[in-house]
Amino acid sequence: MFDFFFNNGFFAYMLVIVTVLFAYFAQWRVNSVFKKYSGVSSRSQTPANVVARQILDSYGLYNVEVVHVSGKLSDHYDPRNNVVALSDSTFFSPSVGAIGVAAHEVGHAVQYNTNYLPIRLRAIFVPVAQFGSNSWIIFFLIGMFVGWPFFVDIGIVLFALVVLFQLLTLPVEFNASRRAMQVIEDQFLLGADEQVGARKVLSAAALTYVAGLMVSAAQLLRLILMSRRRD
């Protein structure tokens, strides 16, 4: 059974396909849930950018700006410029979904401010992951076609670093969502019933990170099995 597992390339391809389908489902899920709760206005009618500013000020993070960026769900925190960037679908919206997303991005700013260890480790791995993401396939393909096992191994190691980066991202994202829901509750930014919607949006978003990791892990396994069949 184990020989079949490690030597049958069909299994690896099927695993990749299944995880990719799951990733598509996760993306559909987050878009669907956000669409639903972006249409549910909070009772306070406070826009998400104002909520983000309020939370930042409550932590004393007056130096962190809240800026508007184009796109849908392109919200992020940029530690280089020290800004919480909220997208078209979030910035001016007073919806339950938008407030949840804004609070999540502020959570990342708080993580940096409190020296949250996982986000610091993740920041260290950013240049390594970027290099690995851009170069692993070059080493791997050259090694496979020319017959240089060492290059194949380099490609696999570089891709494994990308997977490790995604793994480090999970606790960062989960913690930011946990911080978001906690501050929403503590500062009465949303009512108890409204918090349900915000939590669903953040949970759906977290699922996309899990799916992305699963796809990459399956791809890593496929690369390893391909290299073994060349030996």
193-230 exposure pattern, b = at least 16 Cβ within 10 A, e = fewer: ebbebbbbbbbbbbbbbbbbbbbbbbbbbbbbbebeee
User: Could you tell me the two tokens for 55?
Assistant: 């939370």
76-78 sheet: strands from edge to edge: 65-68, 83-86, 76-78
Give me the catalytic one of 105, 173, 185, 194: 105
At 31, the amino acid letter reads N
Give the whole-angstrom CA distance, residue 84 versus residue 109: 8
- Please confirm, yes or no, whether 105 is among the known catalytic residues: yes
Eight-class DSSP state of 70: S
Active site residues: 105
